[in-house]
Amino acid sequence: MNGTFPQVVFGYHGCRRSIGEAILSGKLSELNPSTNSYDWLGHGVYFWENAPERAREWASQYKEPFVLGAIINLGNCLNLADTANIELLRHAYGKCADIFERSGLPLPANKGKSHRLDCLVINAAVEASKSELKQNFDTIRSAFPEDDPIYPGSAILERTHVQICVRNPQCICGYFRPCELVEP
């Protein structure tokens, strides 16, 4: 079902310039993982796969935006583009739904860009895999359709991307400064 995903990818992380420069200079050894309850793929450090421009767009929210490149060995990857991994999430969802039902609380919901339900289920799946199967996921990878169709009737959306959530910082083989991104 799961296992080592035999792939090394380029990931791009949008951040503040001070963070990116600290990583590149060695003053900071690793990026802080996100632990928000609304993160798309659970807790970890997020990268856009092979999409430096998308990382730059996201980083533009900061006063001094920066794009940090990383070489990522996906390792033991919960690859959600592979249907073999979907059953793990269905099982985790069932367990979460039971717990919330017994407690009398509603399950968290996804709403807009807040993915509280997905975050809960993916974190539960990772923990269940760790305790029940003695399998730890290094990374989680999924495609996300986002924004409007690129033309009327298209199934291709403007900002669809592949996101990688790195849970094990040892999977990051190294960081680099991407070539300067030129404004169109």
pLDDT digits (tens, 9 = 90+) for 133-169: 788 999 999 998 888 889 998 888 888 889 999 999 9
The pLDDT tens digits for 41-74 are 999 999 999 999 999 999 999 999 999 999 999 9
* Percent of the chain whose pLDDT exceeds 90: 69
CB 146 within 8 A of CB 157: yes
CB 45 within 8 A of CB 165: yes
According to the model, what pLDDT value does residue 48 have?
Answer: 96
pTM for the model stands at 0.88
- β-strand 65-73 against 8-16: which pairing, if any? antiparallel
According to the model, what pLDDT value does residue 40 have?
Answer: 87
Question: Would 98 be classed as within a structural domain?
Answer: yes
| C-alpha distances in Å from residue 34, one per residue of 46, 102, 124 | 8, 29, 16
Question: Would 141 be classed as within a structural domain?
Answer: yes
- Phi-psi category of residue 44: left, alpha or beta, with phi > 0 → left and psi -120 to 50 → alpha: left
According to the model, what pLDDT value does residue 4 have?
Answer: 58
Question: Would 184 be classed as within a structural domain?
Answer: no
Provide the domain count of the chain: 1
Q: What is the mean pLDDT of residues 18-44?
A: 94
Question: Would 168 be classed as within a structural domain?
Answer: yes
Tell me which residue of 113, 171, 172 sits closest to 145, measured CA to CA. 113
Question: Would 129 be classed as within a structural domain?
Answer: yes
Question: Would 2 be classed as within a structural domain?
Answer: no
| C-alpha distances in Å from residue 181, one per residue of 11, 158, 184 | 15, 19, 9
CB 179 within 8 A of CB 162: no
The pLDDT tens digits for 99-130 are 999 999 999 999 988 899 999 999 999 998 88
Can you give the residue range of the structural domain that contains 133?
8-176
Confidence of residue 93 (pLDDT cuts 50, 70, 90): very high
Question: Would 73 be classed as within a structural domain?
Answer: yes
